[in-house]
Amino acid sequence: MLGGGLATHLALFVFLAVAAAALVRAHYFPSPHIIFDRAREDADAGDRVSLDTVMEVVERLPDPFVLVDGEGRVRLSNQASHSILAAASPGRHISTALRFPVVLEALNRVFEGAGAQSVEFTSHVPVELHMRAFVAPVDVGLPRLGAPPGREGEPVPVALLVLHDLTALKRAEELRADFVANASHELKTPLASLTGFLETLRGHARDDSEARERFLAIMLDQASRMKRLIDDLLSLSRIELNEHVPPSGRVALKPLISGVLEAAQPLAEEEGVALVMNADGEMPEAVGDRDEIFQVVQNLVDNAIRYGGEGGRIDVGVALGTADAISAPLGPMIIVSVRDFGSGIPREHVPRLTERFYRVDAKRSRERGGTGLGLAIVKHIVNRHRGALEIQSRVGEGTEVKVFLPAAAGPAALSSN
């Protein structure tokens, strides 16, 4: 069943299809504009505005719109159809533009009297597209293409073909399903561990004080893991909810980074890692939300300590850069970099590091207290700030993550904090 919005949209398409077909019923049209010009010549003054309106609306419809006759020939197509159906020009056979059997079969069923059809199909070239094709008969006939005037014979039946892009909906559904599955799995593991230890403590370990202390420590660790995961899930949801609204505040990054390094010092000492800050002398403020930028730097520093700490040193830098370093943002940028000298990451994993729950080594990540959401949170915060994220890594040489943030404009932005 079609959704209300799509049904309304298609109702408009049907109306326009009937209007367009009625206009061209007595002409052999090599192009839609010629048809409408000829029809306009035959129309009275009161109809001329409506003809112009029909032509304008058909050309501006956002979805591909094609009229196909009973011989499979395209009789009318709008501008939106050309990006998907490059060969759908009037006079061409629809099979040269749309090579999907499920759609061609739907057209055949319509011409055989089966009524309106709605089918879905997927195109994998040049990129993956998920489409819905709506095919409906139009209650008019057109003359056969190429037949001389007066010898057209029986009118050729006409069908309306409308394509609706479902790619974004399908991808969102896949992401939602993956997210729920991954989140459920991540929560299920510590819950199973807690349940097992609780059952053990209620059973034969009830009076074993040594086992009880050991099990309680493990349970506390598993409960902490669930808390971190839930906190990260809530944080990610909140960030995504506001991702379309760029922040307008100003943040002095040097004191912020100093605060992050101070907070991370206990973990660094535990791992035997030295934290080194490198910063330019005079630095403009960044445009952004202080708490979110703090979270970005904190996540990157924690990741560097946990997964690259064997290198013994973490370099955290902040410098003024330009938009030339990246392709999307414009204007001066502040570059925050976090560099470790650990084992590095194989090249094939780097493009996927910002995916939710993606881990290079899942077992090690869980042992180190990771939730698999840290870099996903970083990515969405950077997107909200209209910045960019760059990750470079080489096996045996370590990993460097750079965050590009817009610099605040004006003399008031300069700070030497």
Element (H, E) at 77: strand 74-77
pLDDT in tens, 142-172: 778 776 676 667 788 989 899 988 888 887 7
Give the CA radius of gyration of the chain: 31
Output the pLDDT for position 262: 93
pLDDT in tens, 256-266: 999 999 999 99
Alpha helices (runs of H) in 43-166, residue ranges in sequence order: 45-60, 101-111
Look at 334 and 23; give whichever has higher pLDDT.
Answer: 334
Output the pLDDT for position 402: 94
C-alpha 214/C-alpha 253 separation (Å) is 43
Bridge partners for 275 per DSSP? 314
Supply 137's token pair. 């008969």
Output the pLDDT for position 357: 80
Q: What is the mean pLDDT of residues 110-122?
A: 91
Measured from the Cβ of residue 244, the count of other Cβ atoms closer than 10 Å reads: 8
Output the pLDDT for position 366: 65
22 burial level (CB within 10 Å; 0-12, 13-18, 19+)? middle
C-alpha 392/C-alpha 398 separation (Å) is 9
Output the pLDDT for position 215: 84
254 confidence band (pLDDT: 50, 70, 90): very high
Domains of the chain: 4-165 (3.30.450.20), 167-241 (1.10.287.130), 246-415 (3.30.565.10)
Q: What is the mean pLDDT of residues 188-200?
A: 81
Across 244-387, where does the E strand assignment appear? 250-251, 274-279, 283-284, 286-287, 313-321, 333-340
Q: 241 pLDDT exceeds 80?
A: no
Supply 280's token pair. 């330019």
Q: What is the mean pLDDT of residues 272-289?
A: 89
Q: 49 pLDDT exceeds 70?
A: no
Q: What is the mean pLDDT of residues 189-200?
A: 82
Q: 42 pLDDT exceeds 70?
A: no
> Are 125 and 131 spatial neighbours (Cβ–Cβ below 8 Å)?
no
Output the pLDDT for position 51: 53
Bridge partners for 157 per DSSP? 141
Q: 67 pLDDT exceeds 90?
A: no
Output the pLDDT for position 362: 65
Output the pLDDT for position 301: 94
Q: 186 pLDDT exceeds 50?
A: yes
- Residues near 94 by Cβ (< 8 Å), separated by ≥ 6? 66, 68, 72, 73, 74, 88, 104, 107, 161
pLDDT in tens, 366-396: 666 667 788 999 999 999 998 999 999 999 8
Q: What percent of the chain has pLDDT over 70?
A: 78
pLDDT in tens, 295-329: 999 999 999 998 888 888 999 999 988 655 454 44
Per DSSP, the residues of 137-200 read EEEEEEPPTTPPTT---SPEEEEEEEEEE-HHHHHHHHHHHHHHHHHHHHHHHHHHHHHHHHHH
177 confidence band (pLDDT: 50, 70, 90): confident
pLDDT in tens, 407-416: 987 654 444 3
CA distances for 1 relative to 5, 7, 117, 311, angstroms: 12, 9, 11, 59
C-alpha 300/C-alpha 340 separation (Å) is 10
Q: Which one-letter amino acid corresponds to residue 202?
A: R
Supply 112's token pair. 């055989």
